Amino acid sequence: MSAKTILITGGAQGIGRGCVEYFLKSGWNVTAVDIQPMESSDRLETVLGDTSLEATAKQAVVKTIERFGRLDALINNAGVGTRGKFNVEELPLEEWNRVLGINLTGYFLMAKHAAPFLRKAKGAIVNIASTRALMSERDTEAYAATKGGVVALTHALAVSLGPDVRVNCISPGWIETRKDVKHSDADRLQHPAGRVGVPQDIAELADYLISAGFVTGQNFVADGGMTKKMIYVE
């Protein structure tokens, strides 16, 4: 009960799963929320649900407090893209609203219900956005809009919840979430860091932001330098 406790959304796979594993190994209690089933363990509570629904956000926080007695940090990570590739003229409003609901409204709802307990703990929120908040490819309007919204929501929450709660944002670039994938030289050379990212890269940065007492309202791009490299097409 005395261990610090973190709540992570989208915790069943990808960056979210990497964060769950990282913080468990670091000695934290963890609550993981996802639409995919997960197994609980000694220091892991799981919540099955859609974070775009307020009932899920409320349940996740309540279960965390009931199980661990405190909440010190929140990582908003759950996110989706559209189910299919749509150009602007063809993008169904239903798909637009679905992506906004999970990628942006869900972050607000989790922050809303976690805030009283984070205030008490003098805790922190880390929102996971994307480099798509800063750059785009064709036909990604819904996803890009939500990730830009996450960056803006981050500094708004930082001002509203400060000084008790610090709120920061990570914009990952290419993060490989599959196992045993070999990348080509061309893939690696797109990154000045010399490699594609992995979920632990994001988890380590989130850990820093949770403990960095004078950092709030900021967006940290974690992309191996990819967005800073000029790419010429011959």
What per-residue confidence (pLDDT) applies to 125? 99
Position 129 in a domain:
yes
User: DSSP string spanning 179-221?
Assistant: SSPPPPHHHHHTSTTSS-B-HHHHHHHHHHHHH-TT--S-EEE
Q: In the prediction, which pLDDT does 234 show?
A: 65
In a domain, 233, yes or no: no
pLDDT at 1: 52
- Residue at 222 is within a domain: yes
Q: What is the pLDDT of residue 2?
A: 65
Torsion of CA 208, 214, 217, 218, to 10 degrees: -50
Distance CA(196)–CA(20), nearest Å, equals: 21
Residue 68 domain flag: yes
Q: Which residues contact 179 (CB under 8 A, 6 or more apart)?
A: none
Q: Which domain holds residue 207?
A: 5-228
Q: What is the CATH number of the domain that holds 202?
A: 3.40.50.720
Residue 50 included in any domain: yes
Sequential pLDDT tens for the chain (234 residues): 568 999 999 999 999 999 999 999 999 999 999 999 999 999 999 999 999 999 999 999 999 999 999 999 999 999 999 998 999 999 999 999 999 999 999 999 999 999 999 999 999 999 999 999 999 999 999 999 999 999 999 999 999 999 999 999 999 999 999 888 889 888 888 899 999 999 999 999 999 999 999 999 999 999 999 999 988 776
Number of domains in the chain: 1
Contact in structure between 6 and 28 (CB atoms under 8 Å): yes
Q: Which residues have C-beta within 8 Å of that of residue 127, sequence separation ≥ 6?
A: 75, 76, 107, 150, 153, 154, 167, 168, 169, 170
Task: Tell me which of 22, 107, 143, 208 is the catalytic residue.
Answer: 143
Instruction: Note whether residue 196 is domain-resident.
Output: yes
Contact indicator for 114, 71 with CB cutoff of 8 Å: yes
Per-residue pLDDT, 63: 98
Other residues' Cβ atoms within 10 Å of the Cβ of residue 213: 10
Residue 70 lies in a domain: yes
- Kindly give, in sequence order, each residue whose CB lies less than 8 Å from that of residue 206, ignoring residues fewer than 6 positions away: 19, 75, 126, 170
User: Is residue 234 a part of any domain in this protein?
Assistant: no
208 given a catalytic annotation: no
